[in-house]
């Protein structure tokens, strides 16, 4: 991505001899492949050179989004009625007497087909009953590795406390996993997926991850697996289930499940109808937020930032796709859109003097102070200010709770963290990795996103509102994962356009190591932070469950968008393909 400088002439002009008119602007000296900031003096009458990242244009116009078609209302009503009928049949399936492994397989299929939310209470009851007699259940499973690993994964995914000791009977006298387990191919795949639910310090699961990965890869190389099972193994080795964006996986699993010999036609029909019904709902939501974005007019007034309305909505579907979270998606899409604008102001367009002023105004949250700001920043602040106040008004009206202090603090924190990175860039500073991450977990914007999600939850109460701080560690782990996934994909491009050093460069500089070593360090940190998230998935309230679910889905979505490069800044590859599958192309019935 090339660096472009945009000339902007100052509004005022004074004689060059007036020292008060001198301002510092950025020029760039290239050291190796990296631009480095060098301050120089210019007179206020000279053009102000601003950076531009030459971002890819928006791929999805407002007119295109408005043209998206859904099923006619009568057809939707018929499909909804059919779904209700199928739901009744599935409830009977869940509740009827069957073998434990069959019960677990049914629950797993419901989850992977994207319809488990219809049966949340039934699934909780079924798993709760199993969990209540876990010792007896484990005895029944004996040497069935597949069923044991599947049970472990389902319990952890659904917030039940379960120990890795479930796998103790699969260890040999030296405490290692038995070599003979490699012959249980279905069990190996289940253990592989279960191992990615491991917590910090669970060494059996750490060993299981290495053990199963090695042997599954060997089976793939040998070519001895049945074609359908081979497809599942390849998919899992590409990325474990616990790290996947749910909705993308659902689309893949529906297409795969329909070819399975053990496919249940009842579940398949429900999954396909439900997917298309959800897709139609998402199209309507997209049209609504696109109208809001077009009316706001920021993309026309401030053409320097990434105009990504469709991709911003895509983020929110990755965090919570179900019908009941429509209000969450609406607010979060608006929020992500504004965060992108502000992020690009700090990263690319604003001068350091302007950024200092803007940060101060946001911190004071004083609309009367905007006279000090340049015109484009006045616009940015007013949009942020008004959106936060609108959200605060909505919650005050509905719940008589004042969330504005929490939203204000979250916005101030993210702007302060942006400013830290801007100072690093402008002063040519490369921090140590720890110092970088201490700031980056805020600058990646997850705390701001999750503060809004928490404060605007339907389950928010007066007692719960002040308790948001108790989730800081969980939010930090989620945010660090988001940042690491982002940095692995975008650091080179961001440095080439002139940006603060990212985690790779920080670790290289701190330890004097190669980029490959630094990348391996980041991948190690990703595993560590996932284990930390896994260690705190239990919830004591619907609000906590909701917040943690969104926090877990943020790095899943980041992993997808940044797996093969910058899928947000340059979204015309796999991002575009998956958007078409999720929002535009229905599943053939």
390-424, pLDDT tens digit by residue? 999 999 999 999 999 999 999 999 999 999 999 99
Nearest 5°: phi and psi at 8?
-125, 125
Average pLDDT, the chain: 89
More confident residue, 498 or 577: 577
Q: Are residues 93 and 207 in the same domain?
A: yes
287 has a pLDDT exceeding 80: yes
Asked if residue 403 and residue 281 are part of one domain, the reply reads: yes
317 within domain boundaries: yes
- What pLDDT does residue 53 have? 66
**Partners of 39 in beta bridges:** 26
Q: Is 268 exposed, middle or buried (0-12, 13-18, 19+ CB in 10 A)?
A: middle
Summarize pLDDT for 195-227 with one digit per residue, the tens: 999 999 999 999 999 999 999 999 999 988 999
The verdict on residue 279 lying in a domain is yes
Question: Are 193 and 219 found together in one domain?
Answer: yes
Q: What pLDDT score does 303 carry?
A: 87
**For the residues 286-294, what does the mean pLDDT come to?**
97
pLDDT at 412: 98
Residue 115 lies in a domain: yes
Q: Tell me the residue range of the domain where 160 lies.
A: 84-270
Boundary residue ending a domain (250, 270, 290): 270
Residue pointed to by tokens 């003097």: 353
Average pLDDT over residues 243-260: 96
| 31 and 105 together in one domain | no
CATH (domain of 279): 1.10.600.10
Higher local confidence (pLDDT), 235 or 39: 235
| Residue 413 placed within a domain | yes
Supply 349's token pair. 């367009």
- Residue 167's pLDDT is 94
Residues 6+ apart with CB under 8 A from 553: 245, 246, 318, 319, 320
Q: Which residues contact 100 (CB under 8 A, 6 or more apart)?
A: 130, 137, 140, 141, 147, 151
Q: How far is residue 170's CA from residue 187's CA, in Å, rounded to a whole number?
A: 11
* pLDDT at residue 157 is higher than 70: yes
Counting residues of the chain whose pLDDT is more than 90, the rounded percentage is: 79
CA distance 179 to 172: 8
Choosing from 209, 241, 270, the residue where a domain stops is 270
In a domain, 381, yes or no: yes
Instruction: Calculate ∠ Cα 572-553-344, nearest 5°.
Output: 50
Q: In the predicted model, what is the mean pLDDT of residues 57-69?
A: 94
- Are both 215 and 288 inside the same structural domain? no
pTM, two decimals, is: 0.89
CA-based torsion, 135, 136, 137, 139: positive or negative: positive
Same domain, 279 and 388: yes
> Is 177 in contact with 171 (CB distance < 8 Å)?
yes
* Token pair 């590795």: residue: 145
Q: What is the pLDDT of residue 494?
A: 54
Looking at the structure, do residues 177 and 243 belong to the same domain, yes or no? Answer: yes
Residue tagged 């809004």 (tokens)? 452
Q: What's the confidence (pLDDT) of residue 15?
A: 30
- Domain membership of residue 64 (yes or no) is no
Question: How many domains does the chain divide into?
Answer: 3
Q: Are residues 245 and 392 in the same domain?
A: no
Q: Answer yes or no: is 60 within a domain.
A: no
Average pLDDT of the segment spanning 555-570: 93
Neighbouring residues of 439: CB distance < 8 A, sequence distance ≥ 6 = 417, 420, 421, 431
Per the rule left: phi > 0, alpha: psi between -120 and 50, beta: everything else, 255 is: alpha
pLDDT, greater one: 511 or 539: 511
Q: Is residue 58 situated within a structural domain? A: no
pLDDT score, position 485? 96
CB atoms within 10 A of CB 436: 25
| CATH number, domain with residue 242 | 1.50.10.130
Q: How far apart are CA 444 and CA 359, in angstroms?
A: 16
Report residue 136's pLDDT band, with 50, 70 and 90 as the boundaries.
confident
Nearest to 374 by CA among 301, 443, 448: 301
Q: Are 453 and 515 within one domain?
A: yes
pLDDT tens digits along 329-388: 999 999 999 999 999 999 999 999 999 999 999 999 999 999 999 999 999 999 999 999
Residues 471 and 337 grouped into a single domain:
yes
Tell me which residue has tokens 């393909």: 577
> Closest Cα to residue 461, out of 537, 385, 544?
544
**pLDDT > 60? residue 131:** yes
Mean pLDDT of 165-177: 91
Going by pLDDT thresholds of 50, 70 and 90, the confidence category of residue 4 is very low
Same domain for 265 and 277: no
Q: In terms of pLDDT, which residue wins out, 99 or 491?
A: 99
The residue-averaged pLDDT of 236-243 equals: 97
Q: 3-class DSSP state for residue 94?
A: helix
- Same domain flag for 240 and 314: no
């Amino acid at each position: 991505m090339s660096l472009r400088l945009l000339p902007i002439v100052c509004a005022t002009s004074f004689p060059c001899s007036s020292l008060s008119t001198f301002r510092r602007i950025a020029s760039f000296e290239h050291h190796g492949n990296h631009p480095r900031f060098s301050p120089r003096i210019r007179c206020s009458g000279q053009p102000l050179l601003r950076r531009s990242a030459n971002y890819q244009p928006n791929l999805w116009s407002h007119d295109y989004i408005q043209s998206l078609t859904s099923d006619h209302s009568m057809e939707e009503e018929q499909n909804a009625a059919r779904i209700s009928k199928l739901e009744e049949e599935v409830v009977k399936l869940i509740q009827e007497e069957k073998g434990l492994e069959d019960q677990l397989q049914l629950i797993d299929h419901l989850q992977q087909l994207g319809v488990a939310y219809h049966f949340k209470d039934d699934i909780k009851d079924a798993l709760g009953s199993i969990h209540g007699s876990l010792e007896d259940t484990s005895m029944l499973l004996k040497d069935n590795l597949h069923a044991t690993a599947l049970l472990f994964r389902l319990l952890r995914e659904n917030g039940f406390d379960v120990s890795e000791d479930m796998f103790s009977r699969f260890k040999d006298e030296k405490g290692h996993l038995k070599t003979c387990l490699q012959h249980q191919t279905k069990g190996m795949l289940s253990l592989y997926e279960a191992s990615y639910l491991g917590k910090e310090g669970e060494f059996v699961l750490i060993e299981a991850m290495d053990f199963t990965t090695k042997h599954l890869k060997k089976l793939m190389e040998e070519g001895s697996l049945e074609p359908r099972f081979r497809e599942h193994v390849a998919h899992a080795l590409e990325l474990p289930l616990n790290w996947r964006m749910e909705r993308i996986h659902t689309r893949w699993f529906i297409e795969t499940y329909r070819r399975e010999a053990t496919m249940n036609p009842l579940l398949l029909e429900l999954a396909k109808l439900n997917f298309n019904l959800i897709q139609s709902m998402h199209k309507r939501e997209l049209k609504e937020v696109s109208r809001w974005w077009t009316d706001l007019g920021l993309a026309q007034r401030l053409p320097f930032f990434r105009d990504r309305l469709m991709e911003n909505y895509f983020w929110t579907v990755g965090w919570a796709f179900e019908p009941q979270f429509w209000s969450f998606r609406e607010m979060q899409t608006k929020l992500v859109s504004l965060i992108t604008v502000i992020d690009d102001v700090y990263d690319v367009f604003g001068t350091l003097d302007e950024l200092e002023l803007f940060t101060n105004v946001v911190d004071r949250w004083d609309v009367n102070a905007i006279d000090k700001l340049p015109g484009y920043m006045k616009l940015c602040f007013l949009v942020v200010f008004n959106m936060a106040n609108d959200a605060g008004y909505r919650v005050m009206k509905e719940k008589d709770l004042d969330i504005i202090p929490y939203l204000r603090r979250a916005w101030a924190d993210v702007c302060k963290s942006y400013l830290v990175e801007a100072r690093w860039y402008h002063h040519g500073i490369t921090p140590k990795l720890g110092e970088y991450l201490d700031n980056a977990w805020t600058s990646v914007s997850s705390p701001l996103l999750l503060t809004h999600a928490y404060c605007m939850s339907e389950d928010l109460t007066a007692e719960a509102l002040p308790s948001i701080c108790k989730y800081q560690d969980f939010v930090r782990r989620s945010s660090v994962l988001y940042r690491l996934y982002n940095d692995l994909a975008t650091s080179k491009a961001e440095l080439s356009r002139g940006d603060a050093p990212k985690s790779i460069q920080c670790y290289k500089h701190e330890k004097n190591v190669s980029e490959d070593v630094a990348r391996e360090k980041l991948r190690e940190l990703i595993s560590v932070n996932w284990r930390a998230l896994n260690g705190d998935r239990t919830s004591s309230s619907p609000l906590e469950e909701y917040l943690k679910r969104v926090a877990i889905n943020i790095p899943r979505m980041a992993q997808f968008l940044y797996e093969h490069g910058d899928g947000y800044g340059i979204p015309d590859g796999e991002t575009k393909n998956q958007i078409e599958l999720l929002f535009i192309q229905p599943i053939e019935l």
